[in-house]
């Protein structure tokens, strides 16, 4: 801790460190763009002005205010400031700074998974990191309310350092509404209010809108408009006139004058208020550079103001700090409307270096040019509460599974089976049952989470009775809210679902307690939350995402709700293993496996010829259906279970006379089986390949190809094992209630001819039978496709 330091000394040291982070962040960008050789002619980039805007805010937070248990999302383009701070702490290497934005170097935007310097929350797609902090706070409350939670981990504050234009993103407001519903606490959003975005200066009057919005959601709003220098000047005779002028000054003019500097400020101020005695004297008492410093002394750049205000913040009410800043503060880029991606010239960086008292050749030295002694600075950095010796990433013990849940039923849908499996888990008092947290954006009942919720109740940090139950109104749903509850009910915003799954899926690392999060939504609406889903995967969060119902099989719900491309999303999304089971026993096996897979954390080995993530683990996506189909009477043995998890198995294996293979994924199992029956009879061998995961089959195939390219001739994969015994003259007919490209690649594995059936156009209302016939995915269409091929025809 910073024991023994007077507040003046503390402020002086923080000022010095702010200068240093300003220098290092700007130099890092300059070095990457102008000194490191550019081998391919593509710009490297980096944001000097955006970084400068936040140096004081971040220095005060990291060097003095934050505690190890706090978790922070830094606005993406202030990454250089973050890396510079970690470098000063001794947690980032010079090598990585020199390689900023390079291969293996410090990342362009702070990354939990790719950076090595203790990033809490990744950012990049603006707005998501901001909202993530709110959901992380809800998850912290959720975990701490549970009896099983360790009590020795202190409660942290979830902090977002927000660019003001990030508030344009709709997901920020969706999350404000959800936060209000869930009594959000412990959340600080510190807004870098530089009134500039990428393309220019923001509209006048934005401040009032922002403030009113936060207050409407019961947030505390703290505005840091004036620094100490300004407040002192306002107290001088004539100071009230200066203050009134500043308050009335339009954003773009303030920025323009900031860019032009002291002489321009004087000219303008004297023009507008200079004939008024006291204020003229006030201006005259200052040199041009002092005047420029005064006008740049906004709240967000004043160490004293920042420190005082941050230290006074409390946990209970969420707080927005609107910190007025200048984009490019302290550099020649200050205030220019085009400064977002603008960078200093050689001459400008030289001038900045000189003003920072940094000698050429000593640019990376941590304490070069600072007034305080290196010993004093090192002691101050070592004493910062945030700068712990041990890792701030936590861990949790594994939650054991309970094995696949057997369901004895002749006809069912995967969605019904999903509800029953969860219900069966809910009845146990297993650790698995207690660590599952479910969530859904207003489709809890219609995705079959209802019985789980009846048993495990809803989460709220305050007790809330089910009024309908109290009033004795019969209902199948018992909606009781309590801190012990295990379902987090969300409003309809799918972005919020994905953000919550992201936060819950990192609970073990952020809060030291493992959760097994399960989120359900209608399959087409995955697209609505896709960026946040990608973001959750990028952060390596672990969850089970259930999209149901899916495809045109939901029939009567119509074209607007029929998902076509989601199997391809499942294949293409890194970090997400996608399955589309057809039968209840497959689902039970996949869910049991998923609970384990979600907890794996071995070293990723992309060279592995199997499924590349089997050691590293990841999240899982299940595409389910409401359409009941006849089940296959069987007892799944180990070999079948293995095939289901690897992505496919022979429902009817090929023999040497095989001419046709029907490969299907998901609910078209019944059509595939029927078509095979029609075609085959007793005479001909028609094989049926059940694909449970085109994603895993495909990834394994790519990995095997890569391994062979690298000289491992023995490498093979599951899909090759499966198709190896299919005679070369046989043809494949693939079928899916989704985009045909999902399975279309199967023909390339060994060059079998293939015809690929699926859905490519928006559906319409109708029965399953109508729609399958319309899109050519019914048994008749599958059989007709196969007939074309029979006898070797193309």
Ligand X SMILES: Cc1ncc(C[n+]2csc(CCOP(=O)(O)OP(=O)(O)O)c2C)c(N)n1
Query: 102 or 342: whose CB is closer to ligand X?
Result: 342
Question: Is the distance from CB of 648 to CB of 722 less than 8 angstroms?
Answer: yes
For residue 77, the minimal CB distance to ligand X (Å) is 5
CB of 166 to ligand X, least distance (A): 4
Identity of the residue, 46 or 163, whose beta carbon is nearer to ligand X in the bound complex: 163
DSSP-derived pairing of the beta strands 458-459 and 436-441 = unpaired
| Min dist. Cβ of residue 224 to ligand X (A) | 15
DSSP 8-state symbol, 162: E
In the complex, least distance from residue 54 CB atom to ligand X, rounded to whole angstroms: 7
Could you tell which of ligand X, Mg ion, none binds residue 340, using a CB distance below 5 to 8 A set by kind?
ligand X
Q: Output the smallest distance, CB 163 to Mg ion, in A.
A: 5
By CB under 5 A, is residue 339 in contact with Mg ion? no
Structure tokens belonging to residue 429: 């008092």
Least Å distance, CB 308 to ligand X, is 23
Residue number, 164 or 174, with CB nearest to Mg ion: 164
Instruction: Choose among ligand X, Mg ion, none what residue 225 binds, the Cβ cut-off being 5 to 8 Å by kind.
Output: none
Residues 14, 57: Cα–Cα separation, whole Å: 10
**50 interacts with, out of Mg ion, ligand X, none, CB within 5 to 8 A per kind:** ligand X
Minimum distance from residue 152 beta carbon to ligand X (Å): 38
Phi-psi region of 768 (alpha: psi -120 to 50; beta: other; left: phi over 0): alpha
In whole angstroms, the minimum distance from the beta carbon of 346 to Mg ion comes to 26
φ, ψ of residue 536 to 5 degrees: the values are: -65, -40
Q: Contact between 412 and Mg ion (CB under 5 A)? A: no
* Choice between 100 and 418, CB closer to ligand X: 100
Q: Which is nearer to ligand X, 125 or 396 (CB)?
A: 125
Handedness of CA 345, 351, 353, 358 (dihedral sign): positive
Pairwise CA distance, residues 252 & 189, whole Å: 25
Closest residue by beta carbon to ligand X: 163
The tokens describing 732, both together, are 């494949």
387 binds, among Mg ion, ligand X, none (CB under 5 to 8 A by kind): none
- Stretch near Mg ion under the rule CB under 5 A, chosen from 115-123, 157-165, 235-243, 628-636: 157-165
Q: Please calculate the CA angle 70-498-189 and round it to the nearest 5 degrees.
A: 35
Count of residues for the chain?
794
Least distance from ligand X to the Cβ atom of residue 75, Å = 6
Provide the token pair at 656.
Answer: 């040497």
Please say which residue, 337 or 774, places its beta carbon nearer to ligand X: 337
Helix locations, 663-732, DSSP H: 669-680, 694-709, 718-723
Residues 400 and 368 sit within 8 Å (Cβ to Cβ): no
Beta strand 319-324 pairing with 660-665:
unpaired
Question: Is residue 486 a contact partner of residue 457, using CB atoms and an 8 Å limit?
Answer: yes
Q: Closer to ligand X at the Cβ: 50 or 438?
A: 50
CB of 221 to ligand X, least distance (A): 18
**How many whole angstroms from its chain centre is CA 502?**
6
Shortest Cβ 169–Mg ion spacing (Å): 13
125 contacts which partner out of Mg ion, ligand X, none, CB within 5 to 8 A by kind? ligand X
Residue 471: burial class (beta carbons within 10 Å; 0-12, 13-18, 19+): exposed
Choose the one of Mg ion, ligand X, none that binds residue 77, judging by a C-beta under 5 to 8 angstroms depending on kind.
ligand X
In the bound complex, what is the minimum distance in angstroms from residue 55's beta carbon to ligand X?
Answer: 12
Residue 24 structure tokens? 């290092």
In the block, tokens 């706090």 appear at: 70
Helix, strand, coil share of the chain (percent; to 5): 45, 10, 40
Least distance (Å) from ligand X to the CB of residue 125?
A: 4
User: Of the two residues 192 and 368, which places its CB atom closer to Mg ion in the complex?
Assistant: 192
How far is 462 from 185, CA to CA, in rounded Å?
Answer: 13
C-beta closer to ligand X: residue 322 or 704: 322
Distance in Å, CB of 338 to ligand X, minimum: 12
Q: Pick one of Mg ion, ligand X, none as the site partner of residue 166 (Cβ within 5 to 8 A by kind).
A: ligand X
695 touches, from Mg ion, ligand X, none (C-beta below 5 to 8 Å by class)? none
Q: How far is CA 196 from the centre of its chain?
A: 25
The two structure tokens encoding residue 507: 């609970």
**Is residue 164 a contact residue for Mg ion (CB under 5 A)?**
yes
Sites of contact with ligand X (CB under 6 A) = 50, 53, 76-77, 125-126, 163-166, 192, 194, 196-198, 327, 340
The one of ligand X, Mg ion, none whose footprint includes residue 76, by CB under 5 to 8 A per kind, is: ligand X
Q: Angle CA(652)–CA(653)–CA(656) in degrees, nearest 5?
A: 135
198, interface contact from Mg ion, ligand X, none, CB < 5-8 Å by kind: ligand X
What whole-number distance in Å separates Cα of residue 328 and Cα of residue 317?
Answer: 32
Strands 187-193 and 158-163: parallel
Residue 331 interaction partner, one of Mg ion, ligand X, none, beta carbon < 5-8 Å per kind: none
Q: What is the largest CA-CA distance in the chain?
A: 108
For Mg ion, the closer of residues 108 and 539 by Cβ is: 108
165 versus 768: smaller Cβ distance to Mg ion: 165
- 489 touches which of Mg ion, ligand X, none (CB within 5 to 8 A by kind)? none
Write the DSSP assignment of 12-59 as a string of letters. Answer: HHHHHHHHHHHHHHHHHHHIIIIIS--SSS------HHHHHHHHHHHH
Q: Closer CB to Mg ion, residue 164 or residue 580?
A: 164
User: In the bound complex, what is the minimum distance in angstroms from residue 2's beta carbon to Mg ion?
Assistant: 31
Q: Which is nearer to ligand X, 77 or 613 (CB)?
A: 77
x-marked contacts with Mg ion along 106-145 as a string, rule CB under 5 A: ----------------------------------------
Instruction: Report the distance separating Cα 380 and Cα 627, nearest Å.
Output: 65
Q: Which stretch binds Mg ion (CB under 5 A): 15-23, 163-171, 351-359, 612-620?
A: 163-171
Binding partner of residue 120 among Mg ion, ligand X, none, CB cut-off 5 to 8 Å per kind = none
d(Cα 771, Cα 151) in Å, to the nearest integer?
A: 55
Alpha-carbon dihedral angle through residues 256, 261, 267, 270, given to the nearest 10 degrees: 90
CB closer to ligand X, 197 vs 693 = 197
Q: Closer to ligand X at the Cβ: 45 or 556? A: 45
The rounded distance, in Å, linking the Cα atoms of 784 and 794 is 13
C-alpha span between 121 and 127 (Å, rounded): 12
Instruction: Count other Cβ atoms within 10 Å, centred on residue 712.
Output: 13
**Strand locations in 449-507 (E):** 458-459, 481-482, 487-490
Residue 343 vs 434, nearer CB to Mg ion: 343
In the complex, least distance from residue 72 CB atom to Mg ion, rounded to whole angstroms: 18
What is the size of the binding site for Mg ion (CB under 5 A)? 5
**Angle of helix 48-60 relative to helix 79-89, nearest 10 degrees?**
40
Residue closer to ligand X, measured from CB, 327 or 561 = 327
Helix residue spans in 164-235 (DSSP H): 170-181, 206-216, 228-235
Q: How far is the CB of 493 from ligand X (least distance, A)?
A: 16
- Which residues, numbered 182-241, are part of the site for Mg ion (CB under 5 A)? 194, 196
The pair of structure tokens assigned to 478 is: 């018992």
Q: Which does 519 bind (CB under 5 to 8 A by kind): Mg ion, ligand X, none?
A: none
Interacting residues toward Mg ion by CB under 5 A: 163-165, 194, 196
């Amino acid at each position: 801790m910073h024991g023994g330091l007077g507040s003046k000394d503390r402020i002086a040291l923080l000022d010095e460190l702010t200068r240093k982070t300003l220098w290092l962040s700007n130099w890092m960008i300059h070095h990457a763009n102008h000194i490191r050789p550019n081998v391919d002619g593509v710009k490297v980039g980096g944001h000097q002005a955006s970084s400068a805007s936040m140096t004081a805010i971040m220095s005060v937070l990291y060097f003095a205010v934050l505690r190890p248990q706090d978790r922070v999302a830094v606005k993406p383009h202030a990454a250089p400031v973050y890396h510079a701070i970690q470098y000063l702490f001794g947690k980032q290497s010079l090598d990585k700074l020199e390689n900023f934005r390079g291969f293996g170097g410090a990342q362009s935007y702070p990354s939990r998974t790719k950076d090595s310097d203790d990033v809490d929350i990744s950012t990049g797609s603006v707005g998501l990191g901001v909202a993530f902090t709110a959901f992380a706070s809800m998850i912290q409350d959720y975990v701490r309310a549970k009896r099983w939670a360790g009590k020795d981990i202190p409660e942290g504050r979830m902090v977002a350092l927000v660019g003001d234009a990030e508030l344009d993103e709709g997901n920020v407001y969706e999350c404000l509404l959800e936060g209000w519903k869930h009594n959000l606490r412990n959340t600080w959003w510190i807004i870098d209010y530089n009134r500039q975005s990428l393309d220019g200066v923001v509209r006048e009057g934005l401040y009032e809108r922002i403030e009113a919005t936060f207050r409407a959601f019961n947030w505390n709003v703290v505005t840091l408009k004036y620094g100490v220098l300004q407040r002192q000047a306002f107290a001088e005779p004539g100071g009230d006139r200066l203050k009134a002028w500043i308050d009335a000054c339009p954003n773009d003019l303030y920025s323009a004058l900031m860019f032009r500097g002291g002489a321009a400020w004087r000219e303008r101020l004297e023009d507008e208020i200079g004939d008024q005695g006291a204020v003229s004297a006030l201006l005259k008492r200052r040199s041009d550079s002092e005047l420029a410093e005064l006008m740049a002394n906004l709240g967000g750049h004043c160490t004293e103001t920042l420190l005082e205000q941050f230290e006074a913040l409390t946990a209970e009410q969420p707080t927005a700090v609107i910190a007025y800043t200048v984009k490019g503060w302290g550099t020649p880029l200050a205030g220019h409307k085009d400064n977002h991606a603008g960078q200093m010239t050689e001459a400008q960086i030289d001038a900045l270096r000189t003003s920072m008292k940094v000698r050429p050749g000593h640019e990376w030295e941590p304490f070069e040019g600072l007034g305080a002694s290196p010993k004093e600075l090192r002691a101050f950095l070592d004493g910062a509460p945030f700068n712990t010796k041990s890792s701030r990433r936590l861990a949790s013990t594994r939650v054991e599974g309970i094995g696949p849940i057997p369901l004895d039923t002749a006809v069912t849908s995967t969605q019904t089976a999903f509800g029953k499996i969860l219900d069966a888990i809910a009845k146990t008092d297993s650790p698995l049952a207690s660590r599952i947290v479910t969530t859904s954006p207003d489709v809890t009942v219609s995705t079959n989470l209802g019985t789980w919720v009846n048993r495990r109740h809803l989460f709220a940090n305050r007790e809330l009775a089910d009024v309908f139950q109290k009033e004795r109104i019969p209902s199948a749903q018992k909606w009781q809210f309590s801190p012990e509850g295990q379902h987090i009910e969300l409003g309809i915003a799918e972005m919020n679902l994905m953000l919550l799954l992201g936060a819950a899926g990192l609970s073990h690392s952020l809060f030291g307690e493992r959760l097994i999060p399960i989120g359900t939504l209608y399959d087409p609406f995955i697209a609505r939350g896709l960026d946040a889903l990608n973001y959750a995967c990028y952060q390596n969060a672990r969850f089970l995402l259930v999209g149901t119902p899916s495809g045109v099989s939901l029939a009567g719900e119509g074209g607007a709700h029929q998902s076509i491309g989601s199997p391809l999303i499942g294949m293409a999304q890194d970090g997400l293993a996608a399955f589309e089971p057809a039968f209840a026993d497959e689902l039970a096996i996949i869910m049991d496996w998923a609970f384990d897979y979600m907890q794996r954390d071995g070293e990723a080995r992309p060279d592995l010829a199997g499924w590349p993530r089997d050691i590293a683990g990841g999240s899982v996506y299940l595409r389910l259906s409401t359409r009941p189909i006849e089940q296959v009477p069987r007892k799944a043995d180990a070999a079948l279970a293995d095939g289901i998890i690897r992505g496919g198995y022979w429902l009817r294996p090929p023999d040497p006379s095989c001419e046709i293979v029907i490969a299907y994924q998901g609910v078209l199992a019944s059509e595939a089986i029927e078509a095979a029956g029609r075609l085959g009879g007793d005479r001909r061998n028609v094989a049926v390949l059940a694909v449970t995961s085109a994603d895993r089959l495909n990834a394994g195939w790519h990995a095997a190809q890569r391994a062979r390219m690298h000289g491992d001739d023995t490498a093979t994969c599951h899909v090759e094992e499966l198709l190896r015994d299919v005679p070369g003259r046989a043809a494949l007919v693939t079928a899916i209630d989704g985009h045909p490209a999902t399975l279309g690649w199967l023909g390339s594995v060994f060059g079998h001819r293939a015809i690929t059936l699926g859905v490519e156009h928006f559906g319409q209302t109708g029965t399953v039978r109508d729609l399958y016939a319309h899109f050519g995915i019914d048994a008749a269409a599958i059989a007709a496709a196969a007939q074309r091929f029979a006898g070797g025809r193309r």
